[in-house]
Structure formats: structure tokens, C-alpha cells
Structure 1
Amino acid sequence: MVQENPLAQMVMDTMELHLPGKLKTALGRPIRAKLIFNPGSGQPGESPQQLINILSEMQNQRILPEVFIVQPDSQIDHVVGDAIKAGIKLIVVAGGDGTIDSVVGAMIEKDATLGIIPTGTRNNVAFNLGITGNIADSVAILRHGRRLKIDVGRVHSGHSRRWFLEVVALGLISDLYPMADDFQHGNLAQIGGLLSTLASATPSNLKINLDGKKHLAITAHMLLIANMSYTGPHFQISPDVSFKDGRLDLFTFSDMSKLSMLTYAMLSRGGLVEGIHHYRAKEITVVSDPKMPVLADGCLLNQGTLSVRVQSRALRVMAGTELTGQPAPEPENDSQLSADATV
């Protein structure tokens, strides 16, 4: 059984909503929310003040949160599932990409909307959704942002299955991007690791099936299957990737030198390096020989074989006015959230 954190309860017990009548009318009726707060995201030493700031801004926006503090053994999907069953329509994650990933599975095709307050290290999902401001700006989006339905990917590799929002990676890319990120942030010691990894890397033979219709047989060092345009350290895979088109974007790196791959990773200029081949499909299967590692949103799953599919418009989210690297979306009808989520 999941226990609420006493710190969160103490904070909530001391909070009361006192707003003038005119301001209450301007802001609309209060909205119930489940706040999933991860104190281990980003800079843990800042988390107490972050929680206070978040609760204060939620009070200003007339959002009434039930707070859950994430612990190492927390079953966050169960917490979210119970909240949705209790009638809560807004699930707010204050944390990083990993915390967001942990709630997605419980929200697929559910009558609830995901809100994000980015307090992690990279905050890449929030970045894709145009949530790039401070805590006050992020909380304001919960009330005044755009409500969208976005695509979610499902990957199966060996005995591992999981949902993903950003990208599935196969091969060298799983080693290349983390080291390139460290190097870009001043860790010069990683240049040796980068060069060593590139020098020892060997390509694999890949058999790829797209929607059961198109078959590819290539030799490559790495492969990406993307749902979002940006991944990892705000690395742009390609400006053409969309999480609203009902398809996944496959990129193969079969005609690139190792130096070109390093340049691609270091410059973060997706789509500008020759030798990358781009395909789109709803379902993709890949078999690698020799076996390559499979990662989904940075989580190692297995080696060798993977199958992915897209679940179109499966997740409701609150987003900023402008999505990063994408044209402005048509907002979903948000009357359901404002009516059914209020108290």
C-alpha cells in the first residue's frame, strides 16, 4: 500500500486558499490535481524550496493538489492509477524525464491530463512541449496552456516492454550521446572515451520491417526511432519529427564515417549531416547481428531484436503556446478539463 509522505501532508495542512472574490472569478473554478513531486530530480538540495514555490503558485492559479513525494521504492504508476480512479483529471509531475516516464503507462487512453513542472536535469519532454520557463510559468501552463493529445511509442525487446515518449536507440548511439553531452558541459576527460568508443565500434547487419510492407537490409553503427524532435541533452534529431502525426520516425546511420557521427552528436544539428536515411512508419521491427544494445528514453532494455509501434493521440498533456521546433498546434477542446476537474 502506498503511503503519503508526512512532509507533504504537513505542508498541505498549513495551506488555505484565500483569494478575493473577483480574483476567484477571473481564475475560474478550482481544479483538483495529483502532484507527483520527486525530490531527487535535478538539484536535491533545492527540493524543499521548490515544493513550497510550486504549492504557492498552484494556490495562485486555484489548483488544489494532493501531494505525493516520490521515494526510491515508490510505485508511481499505482499512485497515478488510484488518483484517476478517484476522479482526479489533472496529474502533475514535478521532476525530470524519468519521473514523467514512470507515470505515462498509467495515463494511456485515460480521461486525465498530464501537466509538467520541469525540475530535473535535462527536462527534455517539457522542452519538446514548450514548457521552458520557471516554476511560475510552468504552473500557469497547467491552467492556461494548450491541452493536446500526443502520440506515445510502445517498445518490446526480449522480455522488456515499455512506453516511451522520446526515442528508442539501437547501437553506438547509446554510448556516444552521453559522452558527447559530458564533453559539451566541460568534462574534457570524456574526449578519450569518445575516441576510444568510436575506434572500437563495429557495425551490425540490420534487418528492418516497416508496417509489414517495406523491408530494409543495411549495415550500420546505429539507429534511432523517434517520437519527439529533441532527445537527451536537447539534441535535435530532426526538425521533421512530430509527436502528433500518428507515425514514428526511423533514422539509420549506414553511410556515415565515424567522424561524421561524432560531428552529428557534438553539434546537435539533426538532419544536417549527410548519410542519414529517414523513414516513417506506425510499426517497426529490427533485428541486429551482431546484437546491439536497445535503449528506450535512456533505459537499457535488451540486445538484438526490437519491435515498436505508435499509439496515436494516446496521451493528454498540457503544453506551452509554442511547441519547440514544431508549428503551433491546434488546441484540443479543453472544456472537459475545466468542467470535470474542478471542485
Structure 2
Amino acid sequence: MMIDLAAKQPHKRIKLIFNPVSGSNRESPVQLMDIIKELQEWNLVPEPYLTEPSSDYAKIVREAMEQGMNTFVVCGGDGTVSAVARALTGTNGTLGIIPTGTQNNIAHSLGIPEDIIESISVLTTGKRIKIDNGIATCGNISMPFFEVCSVGLFSALFDPGDKIQHGDITGIRELISTLSSSPPSKIRLILNDKHEITNTGHVVMVSNMPFVGRRLEVGEPESYKDGFLDVLFCTDTSKINLMVGFIMKLQNVIFDDSRIMNFRVKKILIETQPPMPVMADGVSLGEGSVTIEIRRHTTTVLVPETKEISGELNGIIEKR
């Protein structure tokens, strides 16, 4: 059936951006060849690019478009997907995703299968949609993000947590040390330029996708295109209670704690004292004050052909 469908499609050149160290993969040369072969079965002609820490994705996108390619297929995890999506923002390019990372939250949020062969089929049988992105401004740094911008404890825990996820057990000691030594801050939120909340806390998370972190569900199923950002504010609670709350949320256990507050906004200003670390899609932006805003329908993505969920979201701010 797959080949019959592919036979109806003309050959199409695409840019394949392959991260050889994503997830726990240690067979990347074999995996890359298998992916190229499967793409060719669908009459897709990939031009591979292997990512490096210094990769300039804006340049890669620009040069590929100059050569007539406008579909960019990322084979990697959330970090690589987000980096390429940033480069595609505001262009006429289309993002495709073959998820091979550790969490694959962006692909999961968009309904893209984690099976490689199934995700490749979406590149031909799927539909194009426009998704939103957030933009975080901290000091002189302004960066789009697609998954989450975090302020506080979770930003500080990102690096050791990432080491552990990739099999580096030295991250365990660093994680425990950071967890035990990170103090709370006085956190001031200004929602949509008019509603102010001030409290002591450890964490603020501002998400564009329904799933973040270790598959923590923080938004509605189609929050990536609803014109709002989901805010999770953890006020004055112990770090033990905070972690227990998140573990219960991961296990879909109902956890009602008034100290964990949820809002939906178009814009938020976050100020912390003492200054807390700010991170957007795994990239450190510095410490202290950050302004975060939504940008509507900036990036085109290929997703499975599924039925749209109808209904308009009401209200500028909602506390759940």
C-alpha cells in the first residue's frame, strides 16, 4: 500500500537534518541509511546534513531554499526540532519530524508517531498546519521557543537531568546538589500587562506545547495553535512537595494543590529576586527578568491527517 501511494507522488527534494547523537541512539550510520531508503520509497529525495554543536540552521535553511528545497525534515529530538523550527519561523519552508530523541515532546504534542516508518509516511500523507511559538526576551537576548520557557529550579536542573537521560551518571550528583542548594525567590508575574501576582516560589513554566519535560501534560491538546501560552506557577511549597506533585501529574493522578497555579495568557512578565535562571527549549538565556509573548501561526509543520477539534477558547486568562 505504501509503495502504491508513493508511486502517485512525483520525486521531491528535501533537506534531511540528522542528529547522530540524539536520544540513546548508538547506531546512527545504520539508522541514517534506513531512513534515506524509506524516504526514497516515498519518492522523497533527501539531501542529508549531519548536525554539529556549531550548526548554523538559519544558513542551512537559507541555502537549501536557494537550491529549491522548502521541506526540512528533522531526524532528532526536541532540541534539534526546536532549533530548525526557529530557523524556519516566518519563511515559506515546511518542517517535517522523524522523532529519534529521548522525550520527543514536540512530535508527541503534534500527534506524530514515534515509529520511524510511520512518521516518514506523514511527510507525504499528512497535512500542513501553522503552529504558534513563544518568544522570550531576557536582557539583550530574544529567542523564539516552541516547547517551553522555564524560570527557576527546572532551568537549573536541565543540564544534570539531560546528562542522566543520556546515560551519564555523573549528572546524578550534580542534580542532587542543585536540588538541595537552590533557594526559592520572590517571584512577580504580570499577566497581559494588567494582572499582577507576587509570591515566593521555585518554578515558573510557560509552555506552547501540551507536553513538556518528561511528558508532563500542561496544556490543552491543540495548545500549539490556540494563541495562548500555558503558565504553571509553583508558589511557596517545599521542593519535596513540588517534586511529588509533578510525579503525580506525570502518572495522571489528580493532584489539587492551590500552591500550584495555572493560567493561560498571551503575554507574561516574570521578575525574580534573587534572580533565577531562564531557559527556553534547552537554551540558557541568562538570569532575572524575562518577558514572554505568543506569536500566532509562524511555522508550517507536517502532521498526521486527523480530525480537527472544534470550538473556540474563551477568555484571556483562565485559572484551572
What is aligned with 2:34?
A: 53
Q: Deviations over 1:185-235 (max 9, x none)?
A: 999998876665555443211222222122222221111111111112222
In the aligned structure 2, how far is the partner of 1:87 from the partner of 1:118? 25
1:102 aligns with 2:83: yes
244-253 or 39-48: bigger deviation: 39-48
Distance 1:136 1:239 in 2: 27
Q: Name the residue aligned to 1:313.
A: 297
Q: Deviations for 1:260-288, whole angstroms, at most 9, x for unmatched residues?
A: 20112334257734121111221211111
The CA distance in 1 between the partners of 2:158 and 2:42, in whole Å, is: 39
TM-score (norm 1): 0.78
| TM-score calculated relative to the size of structure 2 | 0.84
Matches of 2:280 and 2:303 in 1, distance apart?
23
**Is the contact between residue 157 and residue 303 of structure 1 (CA under 8 Å) also seen in structure 2?**
yes
The structural deviation recorded for 1:168 is: 0.7
The structure-2 alpha-carbon separation of the partners of 1:181 and 1:264, relative to structure 1 and needing over 3 Å to count, comes to farther
From 114, 125, 139, the equivalent of 2:106 is 125
Q: 1:175 Cα shift?
A: 3.9
- Quote the residue 2:314 is aligned against: none
Aligned partner (choices 144, 159, 172) of residue 153 of structure 2: 172
Contact 2:136 2:280 in 1 (8 A): yes
- Report how many residues are paired: 305
Q: Describe how 1:82-97 pairs up with structure 2 within 5 A.
A: 82-97=63-78
Any idea what the Cα deviations from partners look like across 1:155-181, whole Å, max 9, x if unmatched? 111232211111111111224577678
Deviations 1:97-136 (A, max 9, x none): 2211221222112212100111222222112122233221
> 1:337: which partner in 2?
none
SS at match of 2:88: coil
Q: Secondary structure at the match of 2:87?
A: coil
Which residue among 255, 262, 268 is the counterpart of 1:272?
255
Is the 1:227–1:241 contact (alpha carbons within 8 Å) kept by the matching residues of 2? Answer: no
Distance 1:45 1:179, change over 3 A: closer
What is the match of residue 308 of structure 2? 329
Gaps in structure 1 of 5+ consecutive residues:
1-21, 323-327, 332-343
1:259 to partner: Cα distance: 2.6
Cα separation, 2, equivalents of 1:208 and 1:181: 28
Q: Which runs of 5+ in 2 are unaligned?
A: 311-320
Q: Distance in 1 between matches of 2:246 and 2:283?
A: 19
1:272 counterpart letter in structure 2: F
Match of 1:13 in 2: none
Alignment of 1:278-317 (within 5 A): 278-317=262-301
Give the deviation of 1:78 after TM superposition.
0.7
Alpha-carbon separation, structure 2, partners of 1:135 and 1:127: 13
Identical columns (%)? 35
Change (3 A) 1:255 1:169: same
Matches within 5 A, 1:56-71: 56-71=37-52
Distance 2:86 2:163 in 1: 30
- Aligned-pair distance for 1:321? 4.6
| 1:291-325 deviation digits (Å, cap 9, x = unpaired) | 01101112221101101111111111112356xxx
- Give the 3 Å change call, closer, same or farther, for CA 184–163 of structure 1 in structure 2: closer
Contact (CA 8 Å) 2:158, 2:282: kept in 1 or not? no
Q: 1: CA distance between counterparts of 2:169 and 2:87? A: 40
User: 2:317 — aligned with what?
Assistant: none
For 2:23 and 2:146, how far apart are their aligned partners in 1? 20
SS in structure 1 of the partner of residue 21 of structure 2: coil
Report the CA distance shift for 1:66/1:183 in structure 2 as closer, same or farther (over 3 A).
closer
Aligned residues of 1:260 and 1:273 also touching (Cα < 8 A): no
1:22-33 aligned at under 5 Å gives the runs: 23=4, 26-33=7-14
Q: Is it true that 1:222 corresponds to 2:203 in the alignment?
A: yes
Q: Show the counterpart of 2:92.
A: 111
Q: Larger radius of gyration, structure 1 or 2? A: 1
Identify if the C-alpha distance between structure 1 residues 25 and 34 changes in structure 2 by more than 3 Å, giving closer, same or farther. closer
More displaced stretch, 22-31 vs 133-142:
22-31
Q: The residue matched to 2:227 in structure 1 has which SS?
A: coil
CA RMSD of aligned residues (A): 3.0
Q: Is the 8 A contact 1:176 1:265 kept in 2?
A: no
After TM superposition, the structure 1 = structure 2 runs for residues 239-250 of structure 1, keeping only pairs within 5 Å, are 239=220, 242-250=223-231
